[in-house]
Amino acid sequence: MTESLVFGLTLVLLGGVCQGSFMLPMKYAKKWRWENAWLIFSSTAYLILPWLVAFFTVPQLGNILAHTSRTTILQTLLFGLGWGFGALTFGLGVDRLGLALGFAIILGLTAAIGTLVPLWVLSSENLSRSQSGLIFLGVVLILVGFSLCSWAGKLKEVALKGETRSVSNSDPKSFAIGLLLCILSGVLSPFGNLGFAFGSEISRVALEFGTSEFYAANPLWAVITLPLFLCNASFCVYLLIRDKSAEQFLSSPRHYYLLCISMGALWIVGMALYGSGANHLGPIGSSVGWAILMSSMVIVANVWGVVTGEWKKSGRKPLQVMGFGVLALTVAIFAIGLSKR
**Torsion on CA atoms 169, 172, 177, 180, rounded to nearest 10:** 80
Name the nearest CA neighbour of 212 among 62, 325, 60, 315.
60
**Torsion on CA atoms 44, 13, 181, 82, rounded to nearest 10:** 60
Question: Residue 225 CA to chain centroid, in angstroms?
Answer: 12
Residue-wise pLDDT for 249-277, tens only, equals 988 888 999 999 999 999 999 999 998 99
Residue-wise pLDDT for 155-202, tens only, equals 887 787 764 444 444 566 666 787 788 889 889 988 988 898 889 999
**What pLDDT shows up at residue 103?**
67
* DSSP string for 66-119: HTS-HHHHHHHHHHHHHHHHHHHHHHHHHHHH-HHHHHHHHHHHHHHHHHHHHH
**What pLDDT shows up at residue 142?**
87
Q: CA–CA separation, 129 vs 112, rounded Å?
A: 19
Q: What is the pTM of this model?
A: 0.82
Every domain of the chain and the residues it spans: 2-340
Interior angle at CA 272, CA 270 and CA 273, nearest 5: 65
Q: Which of 64-73, 97-106, 284-293 has the lowest mean pLDDT?
A: 97-106
HSE, CB side, 13 Å, CA atoms: give it for residue 259: 18
| AA identity, residue 95 | D
Average pLDDT, integer, range 85-106:
73
**What pLDDT shows up at residue 45?**
94
Residue 182: C-alpha distances to residues 109, 124, 191, 243 (Å): 9, 29, 15, 25
Confidence of residue 305 (pLDDT cuts 50, 70, 90): confident
Query: Which range in 90-94, 122-126, 199-203 is most confidently predicted, on average pLDDT?
Result: 199-203
Tell the burial category of 219 from Cβ atoms under 10 Å away from its Cβ (0-12, 13-18, 19+).
Answer: buried
**Does the pLDDT of residue 112 top 90, yes or no?**
no
